[in-house]
Amino acid sequence: MRLTNYSDFALRSLIYLAVKPKPDEFVNIVDIANSYRISKSHLTKIIHQLGRLGYVETVRGKNGGIRLAMHPTKINIGQLIRHTENDFALVQCFEQLQQTQHNSAIIPTVNFSTKSTEYCAIAPACMLKPALAEAAQAFISVLDKYTLADFLLNKDDLLELFN
**Structure confidence by residue, pLDDT tens digits, 51-75:** 999 999 999 988 889 999 999 999 9
Is 0.85 surpassed by the pTM of this model? no
Please give the tally of structural domains in the chain: 2
Let me know whether 29 and 50 are in one domain. yes
Let me know whether 17 and 42 are in one domain. yes
Let me know whether 17 and 69 are in one domain. yes
Task: Report the interhelical angle of 5-19 vs 77-84 (nearest 10°).
Answer: 140
- Domain region containing 101: 77-143
Let me know whether 90 and 135 are in one domain. yes
Q: Can you list the pairs that 130-137 forms with residues at least 24 positions away whose Cβ atoms lie under 8 Å?
A: 132/90, 132/91, 132/94, 133/90, 133/94, 133/109, 135/1, 135/90, 136/1, 136/88, 136/89, 136/90, 136/108, 136/110, 137/107, 137/108, 137/109
**Structure confidence by residue, pLDDT tens digits, 89-139:** 666 666 533 333 344 444 444 444 444 445 677 877 888 888 888 888 899
Q: Which of 44, 71, 75 is nearest to 58 (CA)?
A: 44
Q: In sequence order, which residues have a C-beta less than 8 Å from that of residue 113 and are 6 or more positions away? A: none
pLDDT value of residue 97: 35
